[in-house]
Amino acid sequence: MKIHFLGTAAAEGFPNVFCRCEACLASRRLGGKNIRTRASVIVDDTWKFDYSADSQMQALRDQIDMGQIEHLLVTHTHYDHFYPKDLISRSEGFTHVIDHPLHIYGNDLVMHHARQALGQYQGDRFAFQRMKPFQPATIGSATVTPLPADHDPMETCLLYFVEKDGKTLFYGNDTGWFPEETWMWLKGKKIDMAILDCTHGETGNKRSRGHMSADTILEVQQAFAQERILTEPDRIYLTHFTHNSKLLHDDWERLFEPYGIQIAYDGLTVHI
């Protein structure tokens, strides 16, 4: 599997274009890996996780042919993860020379928003598939199992466990410490690469809610190792960073280097 990080920021982007805090000023000054757009990854050039308003510019920046994307897996409807009106650009009359529908997967709220935004444009350009926790979907030769996150009590936010070409990818954001039922399901599984969010920054408890903190990440790493779910520590990649943490890319690298945990950045490509 080829995993391409399109964006690695939390909801407001990093820097937040409205913000003049020290972290945002430093991010603008330093540039490079400190410029983060909203979180998303592309897998094998044909699958995409989440679709924010940044998708258009991310595709231009990394020379992505978005027309190649066949499957869009949406974690939840927060504005940094799903902005379906942007997908009108893929409908009849707006896009030419395209030979397959875009399959959109997500919880019932994702389906509702997708239908509202795209229903009148649907034609044969979009296909919707509602996902329910623990009920796997077959996508080509791959199997994708949605797992409950601990993120927003008003929505069934989903994490995705992907089994594809003999490898497994765990798309584990946005969430705090996983709900017990998710841990139960993960027991006995093997993860080749896990993508987790580190939104709560350096502080926080070992089992933070809503998002993970640095301490929660380390607790997850230990639990993964104890249960032999993920035994290679350098296969954990962190994303969804915010200026509120006050930490820049190099700070995160220094913090997690002793544990072998990787800090993702916009444009990073990983092969597993």
User: Residues 6 or more apart from 53 whose CB is under 8 A from it?
Assistant: 38, 79, 83, 86
Smallest distance from Zn ion to CB 72, Å = 16
First to last CA, the chain: 5
What tokens does 153 get? 């009590």
The DSSP line for 19-85 is --SHHHHHHHHH-GGG-B-B-EEEETTTEEE-B-TTHHHHHHHTT--GGG--EEE----STTTB-GG
Report the residue number, 142 or 194, with the smaller CB distance to Zn ion. Answer: 194
Q: Which residue has the tokens 């765990």?
A: 170
Report the residue number, 109 or 261, with the smaller CB distance to Zn ion. Answer: 109
Residues 161 and 145: their CA atoms lie apart, in Å, by 5
Report the residue number, 38 or 125, with the smaller CB distance to Zn ion. Answer: 38
Smallest distance from Zn ion to CB 13, Å = 10
Report the residue number, 16 or 40, with the smaller CB distance to Zn ion. Answer: 16
Smallest distance from Zn ion to CB 21, Å = 3
Residues 245 and 16: their CA atoms lie apart, in Å, by 13
User: Residues 6 or more apart from 157 whose CB is under 8 A from it?
Assistant: 75, 76, 107, 148, 149, 151, 174, 175
Contact residues toward Zn ion (CB under 5 A) are: 16, 19, 21, 24, 78, 80, 174, 243
Report the residue number, 41 or 229, with the smaller CB distance to Zn ion. Answer: 41
Query: Strand, coil or helix: what is 90?
Result: helix
Smallest distance from Zn ion to CB 67, Å = 26
Smallest distance from Zn ion to CB 6, Å = 14
What tokens does 25 get? 């000023």
Smallest distance from Zn ion to CB 156, Å = 12
Report the residue number, 125 or 133, with the smaller CB distance to Zn ion. Answer: 133
